């Protein structure tokens, strides 16, 4: 089975300057884990400036997870 790639995007929010912003990352199925008991998605981005850094994003803050 090949690795599936996913884009994870957070909900939009206003930053300190009042601009609307959201974060997004690309990861693979091997590096994506949903921790239901703690209500987080845990992953390591495979592209962009955060490559290899472990991320914990609350499920309530996720806008979508899309397969690429």
What pairs with residue 7 in β-bridges?
Answer: 26, 66
Closest CA to 57 of 44, 40, 43, 45: 40
Q: Per-residue pLDDT for 60 more than 60? A: yes
Query: How is the chain split into domains, by residue range?
Result: 5-67
Q: Is 8 exposed, middle or buried (0-12, 13-18, 19+ CB in 10 A)?
A: buried
pLDDT at 3: 81
Query: Where does the pLDDT of residue 66 fall: very low under 50, low under 70, confident under 90, or very high at 90 and above?
Result: very high
pLDDT at 1: 54
Q: Which CATH architecture has domain 5-67?
A: Roll (2.30)
pLDDT in tens, 1-57: 568 899 999 999 888 898 999 999 999 988 888 876 778 888 999 998 889 899 988
Query: How far is the C-alpha of 37 from the C-alpha of 41, rounded, in Å?
Result: 11
Query: How far is the C-alpha of 16 from the C-alpha of 52, rounded, in Å?
Result: 27
Q: Per-residue pLDDT for 63 more than 90? A: yes
């Amino acid at each position: 089975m090949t690795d599936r790639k996913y884009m994870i995007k957070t909900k939009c929010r206003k930053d300190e300057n009042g601009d609307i912003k959201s974060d997004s990352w690309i990861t693979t199925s091997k590096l994506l884990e949903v921790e239901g008991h703690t209500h987080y998605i845990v992953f390591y981005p495979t592209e962009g400036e955060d490559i290899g850094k472990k991320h914990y994003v609350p499920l309530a803050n996720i806008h979508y997870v899309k397969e690429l």
